[in-house]
Amino acid sequence: MYVVKVFHGYIDKTGHRTRDKSPDNLLVFPDRKSSEEFANKIGGRVKSLEELKV
């Protein structure tokens, strides 16, 4: 599972930036390829969900 990181936060399910690291609120991608495509469109980077420390 992967999330998209932008600036000092992450993209949530509504498409806005949030500092909340809760996986329940974040936009989660099942594979790296789809998350990288989205990150490239918005200028973010991909992070594995396991790398997040809540």
Model pLDDT for residues 1-54, shown as the tens digit of each residue: 999 999 999 999 999 999 999 999 999 999 999 999 999 999 999 999 887 766
As a whole-number percent, the residues of the chain with pLDDT over 90 amount to 89
Q: Which of 40, 42, 21, 38 is nearest to 30 (CA)?
A: 38
pLDDT at position 51, please?
Answer: 78
Pairing of β 9-11 and β 2-6: antiparallel
Phi, psi angle pair for 17, to nearest 5° = -80, 140
pLDDT at position 52, please?
Answer: 77
pLDDT, mean over the chain: 93
